């Protein structure tokens, strides 16, 4: 039987058969401002509370800003950093390096350097789309991302979340059209406008080797808790239309 680990969101665990399959890579996709980073931090926090070693890699925001933002939600990661259970860091890749074909091995070596080859249970890359911004060759980008995902699964064995920004209004599931094929599962966060206000939505788009509930749910971001599921979107739409 496939071993599973909790996503940190109990309702989501129910929808995907008990959690993520251990050692696989999962994509959290959505436009800007829907809560992808909060989802990732909630996933990491659950592991930390259970004594796991976790890594959080930020590509487009200073890691201190990420930790400060988490604190504003009531999540204090500093003690876990001091204890060595959480290894948070940021990586800045120069556009000129990417244009000249910087190898994925350099990125992999960076993770090994920061973690000092310490066994890692959970890892977040936020957002993976920043790994290849500015690179002109789409085929090279796809191979670059594929090599990184393969290494994380085969060598580190950790369960990885990668976030990906997608353009507002787009039907795409990723920035480069490869992340969704490499990931073992995809969770899509979005926004829907109802009666003049935006409602956050979440649904499971893909989950390998798992029967899933693809119902689109609403959710709120609650201080101290993070992402909290609400009713299915269909119920809100029905109420907005007067129950017709």
Higher pLDDT, 6 or 101: 6
The alpha-carbon radius of gyration of the chain (Å, integer) is 18
pLDDT given at position 172: 63
Q: Where are the domains of the chain?
A: 4-240
Average pLDDT in the 112-124 region?
Answer: 87
Of 143 and 78, more confident: 78
Architecture in CATH of 4-240: 3-Layer(aba) Sandwich (3.40)
> Is residue 121 a contact partner of residue 47, using CB atoms and an 8 Å limit?
yes
Of the listed ranges 15-24, 170-179, 186-195, the least confidently predicted one is 170-179
**Three-state DSSP state, 113:** helix
Calpha distance 12→14 (Å, rounded): 5
Mean pLDDT over the full length of the chain = 85
pLDDT band with cut points at 50, 70 and 90 for residue 144: confident
Residue 244 reports pLDDT greater than 60: no
Given this model, what pLDDT does residue 96 score?
A: 45
Distance CA(40)–CA(36), nearest Å, equals 6
Question: How do residues 185-196 score in pLDDT, each as one tens digit?
Answer: 999 999 998 888
Angle at which helix 63-72 crosses helix 36-49, to 10 degrees, equals: 80
- Per the CB < 8 A criterion, the answer to whether 204 and 191 are in contact is no
Instruction: Estimate the crossing angle of helix 104-115 against helix 138-151, to 10 degrees.
Output: 30
User: For the segment 206-233, what is each residue's pLDDT rounded down to a tens digit?
Assistant: 999 888 889 999 999 999 999 999 999 9
Mean of pLDDT values over 48-63:
93
Q: CA 46, 90, 53, 13: dihedral to nearest 10 degrees? A: 30
CB 189 within 8 A of CB 29: yes
User: How far is it, in rounded angstroms, from Cα 69 to Cα 17?
Assistant: 31
Kindly report the backbone phi and psi dihedral angles of residue 237, in degrees, each rounded to the nearest multiple of 5, phi listed first. Answer: -65, -40
Please compute the mean of the pLDDT values over residues 17-26 and round it to a whole number. 94
pTM of the complete model: 0.89
H/E stretch holding 94 reads none
């Amino acid at each position: 039987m496939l071993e599973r680990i909790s996503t940190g969101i109990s309702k989501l665990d129910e929808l995907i058969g008990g959690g993520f399959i251990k050692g696989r890579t999962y994509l959290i996709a959505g436009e800007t401002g829907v809560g992808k980073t909060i989802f990732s931090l909630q996933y990491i926090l659950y592991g930390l509370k259970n004594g796991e070693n976790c890594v959080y890699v930020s590509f487009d925001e200073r890691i201190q800003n990420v930790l400060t933002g988490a604190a504003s939600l009531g999540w204090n990661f500093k003690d876990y950093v001091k204890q060595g259970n959480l290894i948070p860091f940021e990586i800045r890749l120069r556009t000129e390096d990417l244009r000249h074909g910087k190898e994925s091995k350099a990125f992999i070596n960076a993770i090994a350097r920061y973690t000092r080859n310490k066994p890692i249970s959970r890892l977040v890359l936020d957002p993976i789309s920043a790994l290849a911004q500015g690179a002109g060759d789409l085929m090279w980008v796809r191979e670059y991302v594929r090599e990184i995902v393969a290494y994380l699964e085969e060598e580190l064995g950790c369960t990885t979340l990668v976030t990906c920004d997608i353009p507002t209004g787009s039907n795409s599931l990723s920035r480069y059209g490869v992340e969704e094929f490499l990931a073992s599962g995809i969770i899509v966060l979005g926004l829907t406008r109802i009666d003049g206000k935006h409602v956050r939505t979440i649904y499971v788009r893909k989950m390998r080797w798992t029967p899933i509930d693809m119902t689109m749910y609403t959710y709120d971001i609650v201080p101290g808790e993070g992402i909290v599921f609400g009713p299915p979107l269909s119920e809100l739409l029905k109420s907005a239309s007067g129950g017709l």
